Amino acid sequence: MNVDQITKEIIKPRIAFHTLGCKLNFSETATISRDFDENRFERVNFDVPAEVYVINTCSVTENADKRFKGLVAKVLKQNPKAFVAAVGCYAQLQPEELAAVDGVDLVLGATEKFKLIDYLDDLTKKTTGAIHSCEISSANYYESSYSLGDRTRAFLKVQDGCDYKCTYCTIPQARGISRSDTLENIIDQAVEITSKDIKEIVLTGVNIGDYGKGELGNKIHEHTFLELISALDKVEALKRIRISSIEPNLLNDNIIDFVSKSKSFVPHFHIPLQSGSDKILKKMKRRYLSDLYVNRISRIKHLMPDACIGVDVIVGFPGETDADFIETFKFLADLDVAYLHVFSYSERPNTEAETYAEVVPQLIRSKRSKMLRALSVKKRRLFYESQLGKTRKVLFESENKKGYITGFTENYVKVRAPWDPGKSNKIEKVNLDAIDEEGYVRVKSCSIA
């Protein structure tokens, strides 16, 4: 049976979604896809034949751009006549480039992506992708989003856009100005999420510490991030809340103090650093220097000694000398953090850093990345070892992974136990016993938390 015959026998066109990039993208993909649950399409997995494939793009790194083209080639092998739509950040920044990719039929930018269903009346393959994108200045209103990606955890978007001008970053061009959901709406969404028996919410956004700006259309802060988390902490049914990532200059003492005493916010922070060299931080136009970052880590660890702290770091930024990199390496080696997310600098169009001289060769970027990734492995191991013998609460997930059930403690230790479907989506107290050969922590005993 050929593709045409199969298509004729399908009552509803099948549609599949795939997300590249951050948790914010995942929350928005989930929201966009919910438009199709009760309409004229059938949702299917991205790895099976479908009539429509939607790829939510990312443009933080060059690698994300390359992955997009690989995904298009993959889905056209599954169905050569499939209608392919590209939405999201890369679609806003480089719509002509995406539209020219062989097999792409539709490109929707920052605001139009939420109207995807309106563009799918005609699923005929196009010679060149149709582009519907706006001037980024028009992306000045807020679209609420949350994901229900699995039974245990939801990503809740609270803020979008960014007013910062970091010299390497395209996000302000891709997402527009900083703006926020209303406090009332976020609380309503949190309540709705918990009604679906989801135990954990991860707060997402571009710059969530800037929450409150743009709420109700105001350019000033209607509420603060501290007021937001204080309100969420009062949602009785909500067991766990994580802060996905927050800028160090916005993570003030009051927020740290609040999390240390909270009933639902967990002791896990992800705090972008980008460089341990003040010279490089200034070239990046970050809004802090290394001393402030050390102060943030010190206060967290003073109040929450078992807190897990993750760090974003960029290697190979223009002008980063061997001495600058060694300064970053030593800074991170001495820092009481649990893991690193390491990015090799990627030249992005229309950024200030793209014009900088003293370009670091790709081979050196790769070498520096490997060194920091190795450091990250050591950091995580040391953190896990510090937790052995302690009792923690684990939220077990629902997937059977080679005979094991896995989950995370409140302070982000990855654990596994022999598969037991009765533990799925349950929070249980466990004793952290030993680190196994795959890097999980084994648990000795379990009890309902």
b/e 59-92 (16+ beta carbons within 10 angstroms → b): bbbeebbebbeebbeebbeebeebbbbbbbbbbb
- Classify 3-134 by CATH class: alpha beta
Mean pLDDT of the chain: 92
Confidence of residue 150 (pLDDT cuts 50, 70, 90): low
Question: Is the pLDDT at 7 greater than 60, yes or no?
Answer: no
CB 54 within 8 A of CB 32: yes
pLDDT (0 to 100) of residue 222: 86
Return the CATH fold of 391-448: OB fold (Dihydrolipoamide Acetyltransferase, E2P) (2.40.50)
Supply the DSSP string of 103-158, one letter for each residue. Answer: T--EEE-TTGGGGGGGG-S-----SS-EEE---GGG--S----B---SSSEEEEE-
Say what the pTM is: 0.90
Return the CATH fold of 267-387: Transcription Regulator spoIIAA (3.30.750)
Question: Is the pLDDT at 80 greater than 80, yes or no?
Answer: yes
Q: Do domains 267-387 and 391-448 have the same CATH topology?
A: no
* 247-262 average pLDDT score: 98
pLDDT (0 to 100) of residue 61: 66
pLDDT (0 to 100) of residue 1: 46
Question: Is the pLDDT at 60 greater than 50, yes or no?
Answer: yes
The yes or no reply on domain 141-266 and CATH 2.30.330.10 is: no
pLDDT in tens, 166-224: 999 998 998 999 999 999 999 999 999 999 999 999 999 999 999 999 887 777 788 99
What are 342's strand-pairing partners?
Answer: 313
Maximum CA extent, the chain: 66
Which stretches does DSSP call E strand in 199-239? 200-204
Q: What percent of the chain has pLDDT over 70?
A: 95
pLDDT (0 to 100) of residue 444: 82
Sequence ranges of the domains in the chain? 3-134, 141-266, 267-387, 391-448
pLDDT in tens, 420-449: 999 999 999 999 999 999 999 999 877 766
